[in-house]
Structure 1
Amino acid sequence: MTRKQITRLIIIAAVLYLCGTVVSLRYRPELDGIEYEEIPSIEYERTLPRHSYKWEALETYQGKKSYQYDNIKAKWGIDVSKHQEKISWQKVKKDGIDFAMIRVGYRGYGNGAIKEDPTFTYNMNSANRVGIDVGLYFFSQAISVEEAKEEAQFVLQQIQGHKVTYPIVFDMEFVAGKDRITHLTREEKTQITKAFCEVIEQAGYKPMIYGSRHWLQDVITLEELSDYEVWLAEYSDVPSFPYAFKMWQYTDSGTVDGISGGVDMNLWFVEE
């Protein structure tokens, strides 16, 4: 290898380091599991507040993570949909789970029809009955502000009569080669997100935004959504996302009594 080639390799390595190339994790509720994709995430000057978590306080025991530092402690949670089939919620409660994020429904990435998750009513009633706190999420493929509002109204209609104590989450994601949203601009996706959250907030519930590091930093403009808390999806020992977030989905292969197979595990950070 010539000196010129070596110099070129050093320059390329330095550029990649400075740009902060990371492996971004993109969870697909409509598919099975998680897809891994190398996506360059370029850090630049942002006005977003940074989180203050101290990751040296993060511990893992028997596959479950825990966190406590000063007055901040994390609660244990799961998120579920029809993919978990029938859940024994009493066993889930006894296994120490504090809260559950339940999928209320989704918009199809093919014909765009809105559907209720077939396990939604059972999961809501059962989790409420055993005393597990409940939040909700909706998988969106909205391509307009009007469709986002329609999705939010659908959620509000479905949850009538149910006890919801955690946020209602807007979950928009790419579905490789199939989704309706690839053609949308960054600003359009941001405004669609805002429209959903505004309807939920006006109804008296707490909205939240779900996304991977790549989605939150590069696909939407988080500065325009700073009124809403963030649910971060990053499957790693320690999150690399530097900005403020309230909840962390850290694996899709957690083990919880009462659930067959793997389940998404989450930490909810609260002040004691």
Structure 2
Amino acid sequence: MLRALTLALIASLSLIAPDSQAQDVRKAKFGDSKPVNWKSRAPSTYPVHGIDVARFQERIDWKRARKDGVNFAFIKVTEGGDLLDPMYADHWRGAKKAGVARGAYHFYYFCTKPEVQARWFLKNAKKDKGALPPVLDMEWNPFSPTCKKRPPAAEVQKQMKTFLKIVERGYGQRPIIYTTPQFYKDANLHQMAGEEYWLRSTAKTLDRAYPGQKWSFWQYSATGVISGVEGDVDLNVFVGSKADWKRWLNARQR
């Protein structure tokens, strides 16, 4: 009986360990192959750093990356209504095992209905305990061989709201919106009040690139160098202090 209880306790601790580890903030020891000389508040002044990854990062030593200061990771799972990132499952498992807080993201495609894309995401994104909110990646894709559509702002916002509503209902968390300066401007995303944002700006601080916009995450580089990750990788920071990060995790994790 005692041995059975001990094994049960060990099993239960292994289930909650990744979540507790995710709140243990590690100091970033990142490099950058094309560093920027930030004129005002640099990303290095923020204590909580992370990465985002997709199929381009084929294999990651997540334990080394975690030791190097990767506290969170946003991992691509789907694109459009039929594409599944081939590295999603591997990255998802590896990040969790290493104690990296992780969330799944969807790359939006303007030639497929938002309802179809939302269902595709929900079909493939794992709903694990401790997962971060899902992410809706909204940006123009000039390199797409099949879809060159650029709908007007009102139509973009309508499609986004449809996707967000369906995924929030099905996943149990309101998605974060990722976007770029040009898309943000073209789609008038400042009008979408109350949403949570992950913003890209690799040359300007966010107060200059998105004046007045509140944010939770900042993607500040596409040329990061991190132990355990082959090649360049996107670098990100969380907006607040270590204590803010713990509060955010407690409020936004599944």
TM-score by length of 2: 0.71
Instruction: Give the match's secondary structure for 1:149.
Output: helix
Considering fraction of residues, name the structure with more strand: 1
Considering fraction of residues, name the structure with more helix: 2
Cα deviation, 1:139-181, whole Å, max 9, x if unaligned, reads: 111346xx21222222222223534532211113222264625
Q: Tell me the distance in 2 between the aligned counterparts of 1:164 and 1:151.
A: 24
Out of 118, 121, 146, the position equivalent to 2:89 is: 121
Q: 1:202 to 1:261 in 2, by over 3 A?
A: same
Give 1:255 deviation, angstroms: 0.7
**Counterpart of 2:186?**
218
Give 1:76 deviation, angstroms: 0.5
Does the 8 Å contact 2:201/2:220 carry over to 1? yes
Cα deviation, 1:15-53, whole Å, max 9, x if unaligned, reads: xxxxxxxxxxxxxxxxxxxxxxxxxxxxxxxxxxxxxxx
**Counterpart of 1:227?**
194
**Counterpart of 1:66?**
44
Out of 154, 158, 162, the position equivalent to 1:195 is: 162
Q: Tell me the distance in 1 between the aligned counterparts of 2:150 and 2:181.
A: 20
**Counterpart of 1:207?**
175
Q: Tell me the distance in 2 between the aligned counterparts of 1:167 and 1:205.
A: 6
Q: Tell me the distance in 2 between the aligned counterparts of 1:127 and 1:269.
A: 21
Q: Tell me the distance in 2 between the aligned counterparts of 1:149 and 1:181.
A: 20
**Counterpart of 2:22?**
none
Instruction: Give the match's secondary structure for 2:164.
Output: helix
Give the RMSD, CA atoms, in angstroms. 2.1
In the TM superposition, 1:136-175 aligns within 5 A as: 136-143=104-111, 147-163=113-129, 165-175=131-141
Q: 1:206 to 1:270 in 2, by over 3 A?
A: farther
2:44 counterpart letter in structure 1: S
Out of 30, 50, 53, the position equivalent to 1:77 is: 50
Q: Tell me the distance in 2 between the aligned counterparts of 1:199 and 1:164.
A: 21
Greater Cα shift, 180-189 or 78-87: 180-189
Q: 1:187 to 1:132 in 2, by over 3 A?
A: same
Does the 8 Å contact 2:153/2:187 carry over to 1? yes
1:129 counterpart letter in structure 2: K
User: Is residue 2:102 matched to residue 1:134?
Assistant: yes
Cα deviation, 1:27-82, whole Å, max 9, x if unaligned, reads: xxxxxxxxxxxxxxxxxxxxxxxxxxxx85x34xxxxx3235xxxxx410100000
1:208 counterpart letter in structure 2: I
**Counterpart of 1:266?**
236
- Structure 1 runs of 4+ with >6 Å offset: none
Instruction: Give the match's secondary structure for 2:240.
Output: strand
Q: Which has the larger radius of gyration?
A: 1
User: Is residue 2:216 matched to residue 1:251?
Assistant: no
Out of 95, 101, 110, the position equivalent to 2:74 is: 101
Q: Tell me the distance in 2 between the aligned counterparts of 1:123 and 1:78.
A: 12
TM-score by length of 1: 0.67
Q: Identity over the aligned pairs, expressed in percent?
A: 27
Number of equivalenced pairs: 199
Give 1:98 deviation, angstroms: 0.4
Give 1:237 deviation, angstroms: 5.0
Give 1:217 deviation, angstroms: 2.2
Does the 8 Å contact 1:143/1:184 carry over to 2? no
Q: Tell me the distance in 2 between the aligned counterparts of 1:237 and 1:226.
A: 23
Q: Tell me the distance in 1 between the aligned counterparts of 2:130 and 2:158.
A: 25
Q: Tell me the distance in 1 between the aligned counterparts of 2:130 and 2:118.
A: 15
